[in-house]
Structure 1
Amino acid sequence: MLWHIRPLQCLARTRRSHRTYHRASPAHRAFQKPATFPVQRGETSLVLVDEARRFIQDCLLRMNVPTSKLRSISEFLVVADYRGNFGNGLNRLDGYLSDLQMGHARADAEPSVINETAATAHVDGNSALGVIVGDFCMDLAVEKAQKAGIGFVVAKNSHHFGMASWYAFRAAVRGYAGLVMSNAVPSMVSPDTQEASIGANCLAFCVKGEKSHFALDMAASVRDLGAIEWAWSTNEYIPHGWAADESGFSTCFPNLALRALRLFPAGGHKGFTLACIIDLLCGVLSDAQYSTQIPQNQSQPSNLGQVFVAINPELFLSNFRERLDDFCSRIKDSQAENDANPVQLPGENERAHMNYVEDLRALPYPNSLLAKYKLVADKLCVKPIDLAFDRCQSRKSF
């Protein structure tokens, strides 16, 4: 019997609230404006960053993860929460522990290069954890970009690798433009169908200027599964227009959305075809699984495909950073519809959350999530997460 409790295996819980169902027409279902919906927010407790790292590493050690890999795995989970991407932070730890326990991911595995040229490489992840594969591939792409101006690396036999922008940042901090893509379990429907045939595939792009940066991290769906899993774990509703239930109705209940796995694409057919392009590059090109080849049943191993690109902008222009700053400022200075809500570039919401965490001097986690990991700590015989304070009410300044 598995020790952990996964969101997709605990969907029997429902809320005793009035249900409002919306059946969207095929042409408008994907981009229906979210309806007003009630929100139930639980109490939140604060956890010091070092304590979150300590707990993650203790759990991984119980799964025989080598000490040399502990820092990179714990860091990318903590950074996701630091940036407000809670669906890919600590919330994902139990999934990675499950993959290790069931043998889908190998704790001691290392990626290897199948073949390569000066600017490209085909990598076998060898069933290592996604973050291990991702770090290896982006570092390889940067190494090639240093010599050839661009590095294009595709990987197979990988796993869920969390926040895609983590790897794009690895390129950006070294002066390169980073582009990252990954396919995923089929969970998104075309606007004119009711069967999921493609994943809510992700794309991240990051580049830095002298005074600004552009950091995009998105899924091809309106919102990804991580956001819905997070809403479920925190006992919140989701807006209509994110996902459908098993009958094809737009739902505000995350448990029904997770049971059906029918996310709406962003922008209708445009989001769906974007997901197809990502899957062609990540799945078909890399010799990984793709589309409905990827099993929805989490008791089976997944062979995900991913793409990592690093570009040296100074190969084209010596003043690229200055031009990027000018580009960003022109968008920022454009007239907003409401002066109270100025125009924002991708990555600014994340920066606002980082400032919020720095003001708190700790990471805010819902007590429901901490209660789940208290059970995990008991099962693994590790020290539970210590709280920075006993209790505080959740507040958002972003």
Structure 2
Amino acid sequence: MWPFFRPVQWLASCLRGYHMPGKAFPQQRGDTSLVLVDEARRFIQDCLMRVGVPAAKVRCISEFLVVADYRGNFGHGLNRLDVYLDDLQRGHAKVDAEPTILSETLATAHVSGNSALGVLVGNFCMDLAVQKAEGAGIGFVVAKESHHFGMASWYAFRAALQGLAGLVMSNAAPTMMAPHTKSASIGANCLAFCVRGRDYHFVLDMAASVRDIGAVEWAWANDEYIPHGWAANEAGFSTIFPNLALRSPLLYPAGGHKGYCLSAMIDLLCGVLSGAQYASHIPLDPRQPSNLGQVFIALDPEFFVPNFMERLDDFCGRIQDSKPAEESQPIRLPGELERMHMNYVEDLRALPYPNTLLTKYRDVASKLCVKPIELAFHRCQSKKSF
């Protein structure tokens, strides 16, 4: 691991143990430039400090954005910075706010995020859940008055690093259609789960939709089409054009009715149970505060079986050893594609960003009077096989 990855080295070590297939990378459409990790971090921190975020909070916000891009979850990385800046400038997210515990027991807690940025609420809640799990075997923390908290697996990793299993859920503004409808009534709510063995790690991070809105935004930034079945246009018909899909977000649920029911369950736990907004009560208009609800669970596996890590390794190995339908399509465990992208970034020694995204942040830099992102290389054609 090179020196500029040290702040996220814990994340890489958390995911070691996969057996990666070696394949050539076909070309990805759209011109891409490379940005050194330190430079991406510097730009994010400069922007945050310009809108008044205290230095003590700037680092944890910039790290979780950089890690998202490092893992290839570009919809929740630098791409989201302008949304967080807008929330802070509008006062929807409060710079000086801190989460507080409303009530708690030995194993549970109800938290108010007090309109702090989602990553600050998420870090607080998962750390609290871990603390409770270390004493009671499980920690179950529910939060309200939170905001979009980015890559959900970021918080599940915090539990995994302590030898626990982490489960995280969040609701979101209504962007997903129920089957056989043409309007959105519920969010493409997310779920992440992480637990580690000795040789394998199981890392799930998913939305209840076929793909989340960040993936559609990223396709638009890369000047790419999206596959049919990801999203619909304003009339409710499937579209391949991300700009049409973004006008009035209408995402398709993963697995039809099953994805819709999963999203409803997440919203019930995160929104209804917490006292936060839920379903169509959550405003889609970014000019209004969101009041999202989230759930953070930490579980001590050894409370149930002392040899859990060995059993997890056996479980993952048996899945990976199953015979693929095509030799060119090996069996991959949840989280393995992200680990492949981490290897890819390490080979590049920089993060690949589409020039359209970098152009947007040149404008942001000008408005905030901060130094623009300095590129490592220009017009690099990014190549990926996943």
The CA RMSD over aligned residues, in Å, is 1.0
Once residues 389 and 121 of structure 1 are traced to their aligned partners in structure 2, the CA distance between those partners, rounded to angstroms, is 48
**Residues 200 and 313, structure 2, Cα contact 8 Å, conserved in 1:** yes
* Equivalent of residue 162 in structure 2, options 169, 174, 179: 174
Aligned positions of 1:211-222 closer than 5 A? 211-222=199-210
Q: Is 1:255 equivalent to 2:255 in the alignment?
A: no
Once residues 193 and 42 of structure 1 are traced to their aligned partners in structure 2, the CA distance between those partners, rounded to angstroms, is 34
* Equivalent of residue 184 in structure 1, options 166, 169, 172: 172
The DSSP-based 3-state class of the residue aligned with 1:386 is: coil
2:43 maps to a residue whose letter is F
Partner of 1:100: 88
Q: Is 1:70 equivalent to 2:58 in the alignment?
A: yes
Partner of 2:312: 324
Deviation at 1:40, TM superposition (A): 8.2
Partner of 1:197: 185
Q: Is 1:223 equivalent to 2:211 in the alignment?
A: yes
Once residues 232 and 317 of structure 2 are traced to their aligned partners in structure 1, the CA distance between those partners, rounded to angstroms, is 39
**Residues 182 and 279, structure 1, Cα contact 8 Å, conserved in 2:** yes
Once residues 353 and 173 of structure 2 are traced to their aligned partners in structure 1, the CA distance between those partners, rounded to angstroms, is 27
2:149 maps to a residue whose letter is F
Once residues 253 and 141 of structure 1 are traced to their aligned partners in structure 2, the CA distance between those partners, rounded to angstroms, is 41
Deviation at 1:317, TM superposition (A): 1.0
**Residues 28 and 383, structure 2, Cα contact 8 Å, conserved in 1:** no
Q: Is 1:396 equivalent to 2:379 in the alignment?
A: no
Partner of 2:327: 339
Percent identity reads 74
Aligned positions of 1:1-398 closer than 5 A? 41-398=29-386
Once residues 269 and 394 of structure 1 are traced to their aligned partners in structure 2, the CA distance between those partners, rounded to angstroms, is 36
**Residues 181 and 204, structure 1, Cα contact 8 Å, conserved in 2:** yes
C-alpha offsets along residues 222-250 of structure 1, whole Å, 9 cap, x if unaligned? Answer: 00001011111221110000011111110
Deviation at 1:360, TM superposition (A): 0.3
Partner of 1:15: none
Deviation at 1:76, TM superposition (A): 0.3
Once residues 133 and 325 of structure 2 are traced to their aligned partners in structure 1, the CA distance between those partners, rounded to angstroms, is 41
Deviation at 1:395, TM superposition (A): 1.3
C-alpha offsets along residues 106-163 of structure 1, whole Å, 9 cap, x if unaligned? Answer: 0111000000000000000000000000000000000000000000000000000000
Structure 2 residue ranges without an equivalent (≥5) = 1-26
Deviation at 1:396, TM superposition (A): 1.3
Deviation at 1:258, TM superposition (A): 1.2
**Residues 40 and 237, structure 1, Cα contact 8 Å, conserved in 2:** no
Partner of 1:33: none
The DSSP-based 3-state class of the residue aligned with 2:315 is: helix
Deviation at 1:198, TM superposition (A): 0.5
Once residues 306 and 220 of structure 1 are traced to their aligned partners in structure 2, the CA distance between those partners, rounded to angstroms, is 15
Once residues 372 and 382 of structure 1 are traced to their aligned partners in structure 2, the CA distance between those partners, rounded to angstroms, is 14
Partner of 1:4: none
**Residues 290 and 304, structure 1, Cα contact 8 Å, conserved in 2:** yes
1:206 maps to a residue whose letter is C
2:93 maps to a residue whose letter is A
Once residues 343 and 393 of structure 1 are traced to their aligned partners in structure 2, the CA distance between those partners, rounded to angstroms, is 28
Once residues 257 and 103 of structure 1 are traced to their aligned partners in structure 2, the CA distance between those partners, rounded to angstroms, is 28
Deviation at 1:260, TM superposition (A): 2.2
Structure 1 residue ranges without an equivalent (≥5) = 1-38
Once residues 126 and 387 of structure 1 are traced to their aligned partners in structure 2, the CA distance between those partners, rounded to angstroms, is 37
Once residues 225 and 366 of structure 1 are traced to their aligned partners in structure 2, the CA distance between those partners, rounded to angstroms, is 17
Q: How many residues align?
A: 360
C-alpha offsets along residues 78-114 of structure 1, whole Å, 9 cap, x if unaligned? Answer: 0000000000000000000000000000011100000
Once residues 363 and 246 of structure 2 are traced to their aligned partners in structure 1, the CA distance between those partners, rounded to angstroms, is 22
The DSSP-based 3-state class of the residue aligned with 1:114 is: strand
The DSSP-based 3-state class of the residue aligned with 1:309 is: strand
Structure 1 ranges of 4+ moved more than 6 A? none
The DSSP-based 3-state class of the residue aligned with 1:391 is: strand
